[in-house]
Amino acid sequence: MQSSALFINPTLNFPQKISYFPPTNPHLLQNLPFRPRLASSSSSISTKFQSKMFSSNSGDGFQTLLDYIGKEGEDVGDDLVVLIAHLQYACKRIAAVVASPFNSVLGKQNKTGGGDSSVGGAERDDPKPLDIVSNEIILSSLRNSGKVAVMASEEDDVPVWITDNGPFVVVTDPLDGSRNIDASIPTGTIFGIYNRLVELDHLPIKEKAQLNSLQSGTRLIAAGYVLYSSATIFCVSFGSGTHAFTLDHTTGDFVLTHPSIKVPSRGQIYSVNDARYFDWPEGLRRYIDTVRQGKGL
């Protein structure tokens, strides 16, 4: 853990507007569909474009994530905007950690035992420094937002009570698939957001933290994931459609690139963990067998 702590500390004071990777070559940037149109013919590209240049008011018609959930898209309320702003910042930092040349060193630290740790078909990844680093980044950002009462993480044994005044509850897997990083396979952050149950405020902290975290999925007010791959994509729903925002490394903004995502009535690809085939319920096995034959939905 000492190595991961040393790795985190230099990044704690990163400003909100930051390009985590070298600015895109201006000549390559010209081919991107969402590049800002500059009035000047200068070949230099500023890395400090304002968010409004990507909003619906611009010639390109693109919106940032914070624009979309503010005045120009879904109005989710000021408190949730603040929370999402801190969450997206945390995910930018995780994206930088995942892309770092040091991540393979972190991923190999603190490995315990060997073989499959699953019991009865259920498995929980043993915490490794990359997971822990990501967990600490998200917890720090949520605490700084002042809007979260409790965070329940896949990396923690019990939910963490943050503040009595926070209106929201966040449940998360900070870095799912961290074992894939050495093979450059995508990883991601998964999250869900609930309203805090104020009727539980009189209970002891441990009890109300747990009960707030165990709310039904039907009570979610927002949910999504952040994919860390060749692009960093923030995919989220606030209950009226699902939208994906891609991180523009030249500005540090998540820009709306996939509005109103829908599952097609019939697809050409299915994705499952086939190694668990014999652990699946009979109905699921029959369905996958049918799909393999080109039948079914």
- Give the per-residue pLDDT at 207: 98
Same domain, 248 and 280: no
Cα distance between residue 130 and residue 106, in whole Å = 6
Same domain, 277 and 132: no
Same domain, 139 and 220: yes
In a domain, 164, yes or no: yes
Domain of residue 286, residue span: 266-297
Same domain, 270 and 244: no
- Give the per-residue pLDDT at 115: 43
- Give the per-residue pLDDT at 106: 61
In a domain, 119, yes or no: no
Same domain, 276 and 245: no
Same domain, 85 and 224: yes
Same domain, 204 and 226: yes
pTM: 0.72
- Give the per-residue pLDDT at 267: 80
- Give the per-residue pLDDT at 104: 59
Same domain, 158 and 274: no
Same domain, 150 and 284: no
DSSP run (H or E) holding 284: helix 282-292
Same domain, 209 and 282: no
Whether the Cβ atoms of residue 272 and residue 278 lie closer than 8 Å to each other: no
Spatial CB neighbours of 179, under 8 Å, sequence gap ≥ 6: 107, 125, 128
**Closest to 256 in 3D by CA, of 77, 87, 76, 67:** 67
Cα distance between residue 21 and residue 34, in whole Å = 18
> Residue 25 corresponds to which tokens in the numbers above?
């070559």
- Give the per-residue pLDDT at 51: 39
In a domain, 114, yes or no: no
Same domain, 254 and 293: no
Q: Which residue is it, tokens 């080109």?
A: 294
Same domain, 201 and 289: no
**Closest to 256 in 3D by CA, of 241, 246, 266:** 246
In a domain, 174, yes or no: yes
In a domain, 76, yes or no: yes
- Give the per-residue pLDDT at 268: 81
In a domain, 7, yes or no: no
Q: Number of structural domains, the chain?
A: 2
3 state SS of 80 = helix
Region at 209 (left for phi over 0; alpha for psi -120 to 50; beta for the rest): alpha
Mean pLDDT (10-residue bins), the chain, 297 residues: 37 39 37 37 33 44 87 86 98 94 60 45 61 96 98 97 97 92 90 98 97 98 97 96 96 95 85 92 94 79
In a domain, 17, yes or no: no
In a domain, 280, yes or no: yes
CATH code at 223? 3.30.540.10
